[in-house]
């Protein structure tokens, strides 16, 4: 019989961290992962990031249902089906989120998850290297398993973006993951010595050396006996098997697959489960609800000089980039190319940033298609805290069937006002003197798109997911009927079962979700082990005139 103290479903960002910390503490661990190896250049070369998220070998291939407020478009929702999970196919951008995000979690019922509580876990997991660009060393960790670095920032467009932000009246911040997120500055990335440093690299390899086992197979359901999780039924070679958990089962299968597994196991909205013929073991209406994401548009500009990465966007150029990376782990392939960041507030009265910029020194889509105009640059921009909420629901009781994913993007009127502000504020930044030597015509939305109706139509036709789904197993008080897990990540109403991934976020954080997902794995491991790092009362910077000034 296959058995361990802890059975973890999902070798992704949080699951790998959990496996390492539990194995480090001497517990026996089995990790169940549906995907295969993360070896190979498409995953390991940072500059090739557009490939793995579009490859069926590494991705679950999920898409949303037709989104009613985006013209009925189905949007891609990539999730990693590979060792390392989505940390092996993501853009490698490392953002903790704002301190106020976690204080909101605490206020929403996730007691013990305020910023003072989570900061020690961010510090524990990091091995931060500032790359000579300055930073906030007092807020960072330097001996954790997760290497966090910065790019060379030698493309002139990268520096121009930060300088343009300064010229537009925004602060420059040396470290948005330190005391001061608001402003413009260098991005952090999970890259080490020219290679993607995923959760598999940071945690899982060490966990396996400490005895953790990885089983390849797709989890079908949690086996629950007399109100307690006893194991996981898994499709493996030779047919279904039950992997037994002597202590606990922990789901770390993503904001899409964790609620799906709970529902297949009889935990979720009772009427919906009964409609699919699934016996209801715990009627929890919050399972699958509260789905959130970041939506963004690409504001693209043509460049008047051949300074962008478009010079490599041909067969010979890609071959040169690939060969240089393969033999020296250097050159454009050694960076994710997201090297300049921006976090600003959309208007006066917003306490902390609600807009994020990813600057890229080429005009290109996530699917790897470059703009026809040739040399260019772009900013990915979108609101950080939309009030729109969607849901993940079962399509059927068949574990092989993909769930229904409906984000319900742009369902709140404020979303449209926020996106218009995003576009207009980005245009203002690109119009600064710092871009004068480089900026040509606007590729998209295009100079003709000026009034509200034109901008709304652009968003409706071109907005894309930033691939940050979360919130579908919300953490909250045990007596909160909408909560799925309590503040120790225990599933309410079932013994011996926890969830630890981005699905437990009460509200989406301010930025990319990989860092907070890993932090959740780190912190939940301590809850499992009955220990806790002492809180750190660090005070984040908040604009002193936020009530009356936008910048």
DSSP assignment string, 116-131: HHHHHHHHHHEEE--T
Closest CA to 122 of 186, 199, 178, 201: 178
Q: Is 148 labelled as part of a ligand binding site?
A: no
Give CA–CA dist 163/181, Å, rounded: 17
Average pLDDT over the chain reads 96
Kind of pairing, strands 340-344 and 355-360?
antiparallel
- Give the DSSP letter of residue 444: E
Q: Per-domain residue ranges for the chain?
A: 3-40+199-288+470-529, 100-195+292-465
Is 375 tagged catalytic? Answer: no
Strands 239-251, 497-499: pairing is: parallel
Q: What is the tens place of the pLDDT at every residue in 78-101?
A: 999 999 999 999 999 999 999 999
Q: From CA 43, how far away is CA 359, in angstroms rounded? A: 22
DSSP element (H, E) containing 458: helix 452-462
Cβ within 8 Å of residue 62, ≥6 positions away: 76, 77, 78, 79, 256, 402, 403, 405
pLDDT digits (tens, 9 = 90+) for 160-175: 999 999 999 999 999 9
Q: Would you tell me how many other CB atoms lie within 10 Å of the CB of residue 505? A: 30
The structure's pTM equals 0.97
Reading phi first (left if > 0) and then psi (alpha if -120 to 50, else beta), residue 349 is in: left
Phi and psi, residue 532, nearest 5°:
-160, 135
Query: Among the CATH numbers 3.30.365.10, 3.30.70.580, 3.50.50.60, 3.30.920.30, which is that of 3-40+199-288+470-529?
Result: 3.50.50.60
Tell me: is residue 91 an annotated ligand-binding position.
Answer: yes
Structure tokens at 79: 């999730």
Residue entry with tokens 């218009």: 420
Residues 6+ apart with CB under 8 A from 228: 494, 495, 496, 497
pLDDT tens figures, 47-75 = 999 899 989 999 999 999 999 999 999 99
Q: How much is the pLDDT for 368?
A: 65
**What pLDDT was estimated at residue 341?**
98
Peptide bond into 248 cis (omega under 30): no
Say how far apart CA 89 and CA 521 lie, in whole Å: 18
- Name the 3-class secondary structure at 315: helix
Which residues are within 8 A (CB) of 208 and not within 5 positions of it... i.e. 6 or more apart? Answer: 214
Alpha-carbon gap, residue 141 to 175, rounded angstroms: 13
**What are the phi and psi torsion angles at 56 (to 5°)?**
-60, -25
Q: Which CATH class is domain 100-195+292-465?
A: alpha beta
- Which residues of the chain carry a pLDDT beneath 50? none
pLDDT in the model for residue 366: 66
Would you state the pLDDT for residue 370?
Answer: 67
Rounded to an integer, what distance in angstroms lies between the CA atom of residue 113 and that of residue 25?
23
- Between helix 452-462 and helix 413-430 the angle, nearest 10°, is 100
Residues 133, 468, 527, 543: which is the catalytic one? Answer: 468
Listed as own residue / partner, the contacts of 51-56 with beta carbons closer than 8 Å and 24 or more positions apart are 51/368, 52/82, 52/88, 52/89, 53/78, 53/89, 53/90, 53/366, 53/467, 54/78, 54/366, 54/367, 54/368
As given in the structure block, the two tokens for residue 8 are: 């973890």
- Does 92 show up as a binding residue in the annotation? yes
Question: How open is the CA angle 72-52-311, to the nearest 5 degrees?
Answer: 95
Confidence at residue 372, expressed as pLDDT on a 0 to 100 scale: 65
How far is the C-alpha of 320 from the C-alpha of 331, rounded, in Å?
9
For the packed helices 413-430 and 156-167, what is the interaxial angle rounded to 10 degrees? Answer: 110
């Amino acid at each position: 019989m296959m058995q361990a103290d802890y059975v973890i479903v999902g070798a992704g960002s949080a699951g790998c961290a959990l496996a390492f910390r539990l194995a480090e503490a001497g517990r026996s661990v089995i990790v169940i992962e549906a995907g295969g190896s993360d070896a190979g250049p498409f995953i390991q070369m940072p500059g090739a990031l557009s490939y793995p998220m579009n490859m069926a070998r590494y991705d679950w291939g999920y898409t949303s249902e037709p989104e009613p407020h985006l013209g009925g478009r189905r949007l891609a929702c990539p999730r990693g089906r590979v060792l390392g999970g989505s940390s092996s196919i993501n853009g490698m951008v490392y953002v903790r989120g704002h301190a106020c995000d976690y204080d909101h979690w605490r206020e929403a019922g996730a007691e013990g998850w305020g910023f003072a509580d989570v900061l020690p876990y961010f510090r524990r997991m990091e091995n931060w290297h500032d790359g000579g660009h300055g930073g906030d060393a007092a807020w960072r960790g330097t001996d954790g398993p997760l290497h966090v670095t910065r790019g060379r920032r030698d493309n002139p467009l990268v520096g121009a973006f930060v300088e343009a932000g300064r010229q537009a009246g925004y602060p420059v911040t040396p470290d948005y993951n330190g005391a001061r997120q608001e402003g413009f500055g260098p991005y952090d990335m999970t890259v080490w010595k020219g290679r993607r440093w995923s959760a598999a690299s940071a945690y899982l390899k060490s966990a396996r050396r400490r005895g953790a086992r990885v089983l390849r197979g797709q989890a079908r359901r949690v086996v629950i006996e007399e109100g307690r999780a006893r194991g996981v039924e898994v499709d493996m070679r030779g047919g279904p098997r039950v992997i037994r958990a002597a202590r606990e089962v922990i789901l770390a299968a993503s904001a899409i697959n964790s609620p799906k597994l709970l529902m297949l196991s009889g935990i979720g909205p009772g009427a919906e489960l009964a409609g699919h013929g699934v016996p209801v073991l715990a009627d929890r209406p919050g399972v699958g609800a509260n789905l959130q994401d970041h939506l963004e548009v690409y504001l693209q500009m043509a460049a008047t000089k051949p300074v962008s990465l478009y010079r490599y966007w041909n067969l010979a150029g890609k071959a040169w980039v690939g060969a240089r990376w393969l033999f020296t782990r250097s050159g454009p392939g050694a960076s994710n190319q997201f090297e300049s960041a921006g976090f600003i507030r959309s208007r006066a009265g917003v306490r902390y940033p609600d807009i994020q910029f990813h600057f890229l020194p080429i005009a290109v889509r996530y699917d790897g298609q470059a703009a026809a105009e040739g040399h260019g640059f772009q900013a990915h921009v979108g609101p950080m805290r939309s009030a729109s909420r969607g849901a993940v629901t079962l399509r059927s009781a068949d574990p092989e069937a993909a769930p229904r994913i409906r984000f319900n993007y742009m369902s709140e009127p404020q979303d449209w006002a926020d996106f218009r502000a995003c576009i207009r504020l980005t245009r203002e930044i690109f119009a600064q003197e710092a871009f004068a030597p480089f900026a040509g015509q606007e590729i998209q939305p295009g100079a003709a798109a000026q009034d509200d109706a034109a901008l709304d139509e652009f968003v409706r036709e071109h907005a894309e997911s930033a691939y940050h789904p979360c919130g579908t197993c919300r953490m909250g008080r045990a007596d909160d009927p909408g909560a799925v897990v309590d503040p120790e990540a225990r599933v309410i109403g079932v013994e011996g079962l926890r969830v630890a991934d981005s699905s437990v976020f009460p509200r989406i954080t301010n930025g990319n979700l990989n860092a907070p997902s890993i932090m959740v794995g780190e912190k939940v491991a301590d809850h499992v082990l009955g220990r806790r790092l002492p809180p750190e009362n660090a005070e984040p910077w908040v604009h002193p005139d936020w009530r009356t000034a936008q910048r």
